[in-house]
């Protein structure tokens, strides 16, 4: 598949690029095309068997089958609205979390739509499918290409085929397990796990913290 990483020059975008470049065509997007080209070059040096290029966000979306929103929540409205005309048939993955740091702890601050995923849904064309996922995956660990993450990816979405596609992408990352978490409307519950996880990690000095659902049987 052709995977566009919108705002993909940051930690989470670089992590996805490194993990998926061996199996898919990766298009790193940025508001500044030259910045995306530079990031793509960095990834290409680390991944010998991958096809990676950089361009502006609009061209990245237009060329993609799958789009991952690698932007902080405060930029979600502007980026998504600006790119609306670039979308047609794509599957959009949202790992975006609406949270703030008060100086003492991280706090979940959902938008009026209830979650970042539902906010993105309201801004994108109806034919675009959206799945929220990867909220609790550590970006630093994701960039270590050979590292086993040993974590679960909880996905929320309304389209079975789209969920299967995201599950497949999650399964390509070493030791990640995709789990269905409900419809897109349930995304707020999953997004809120991120600030909780960050607070626990900081208070207990836990590195590369993640979420794992365990069973007694």
User: Count of domains in the chain?
Assistant: 1
Q: Is residue 216 part of a domain?
A: no
Q: Is residue 81 part of a domain?
A: yes
Q: Which of 197, 169, 196, 166 is nearest to 184 (CA)?
A: 166
Q: Is 154 helix (H, G, I), strand (E, B) or coil?
A: strand
Q: Is residue 214 part of a domain?
A: no
**Helices 33-46, 11-20: inter-axial angle, 10-degree rounding:** 50
Give residue-wise pLDDT tens across range 31-79.
Answer: 999 999 999 999 999 988 679 999 999 999 999 999 999 999 999 998 9
Give residue-wise pLDDT tens across range 170-197.
Answer: 999 989 999 999 999 999 999 999 999 9
- Cα distance between residue 135 and residue 210, in whole Å: 9
Q: Is residue 209 part of a domain?
A: no
Q: Is the pLDDT of residue 217 over 80?
A: no
Give residue-wise pLDDT tens across range 126-137.
Answer: 999 999 999 999
Q: Is residue 196 part of a domain?
A: yes
Looking at residue 50, its pLDDT comes to 73
Looking at residue 187, its pLDDT comes to 98
CATH number for the domain spanning 63: value is: 3.40.50.720
Backbone φ, ψ for residue 152 (5° rounding): -105, 145
Q: Return the DSSP state at 186.
A: G
Q: Where are the alpha helices (DSSP H) in the chain?
A: 11-20, 33-46, 57-63, 76-82, 116-123, 139-142, 160-171, 187-191, 193-204
Q: Is residue 52 part of a domain?
A: yes
Looking at residue 94, its pLDDT comes to 98
Q: Is residue 211 part of a domain?
A: no
* Residues spanned by the domain of 23: 2-204
Give residue-wise pLDDT tens across range 190-214.
Answer: 999 999 999 999 999 999 999 999 9
């Amino acid at each position: 598949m052709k995977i566009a990483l919108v705002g993909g020059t940051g930690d989470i975008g670089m992590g996805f690029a490194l993990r998926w470049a061996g199996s898919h065509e990766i298009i790193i997007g940025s508001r500044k095309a030259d910045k995306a080209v530079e990031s793509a070059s960095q990834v290409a040096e680390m991944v010998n068997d991958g096809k990676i290029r950089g361009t502006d966000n609009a061209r990245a979306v237009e060329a993609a089958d799958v789009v991952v929103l690698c932007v902080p929540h405060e930029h979600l409205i502007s980026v998504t609205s600006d790119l609306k005309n670039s979308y047609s048939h794509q599957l959009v993955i949202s790992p975006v979390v609406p949270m703030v740091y008060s100086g003492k702890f991280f706090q979940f601050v959902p938008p009026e739509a209830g979650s970042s995923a539902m906010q993105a849904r309201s801004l994108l064309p109806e034919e675009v499918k959206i799945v929220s996922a990867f909220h609790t995956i550590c970006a630093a660990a994701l960039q270590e290409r050979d590292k086993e993450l040993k974590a679960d990816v909880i996905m929320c979405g309304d389209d079975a085929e789209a969920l299967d596609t995201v599950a497949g992408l999650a399964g390509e990352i070493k030791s990640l397990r995709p789990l269905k978490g409900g419809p897109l409307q349930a995304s707020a519950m999953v997004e809120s796990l991120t600030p909780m996880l960050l607070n626990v990690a900081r208070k207990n000095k836990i590195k590369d913290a993640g979420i794992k659902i365990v069973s007694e049987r």
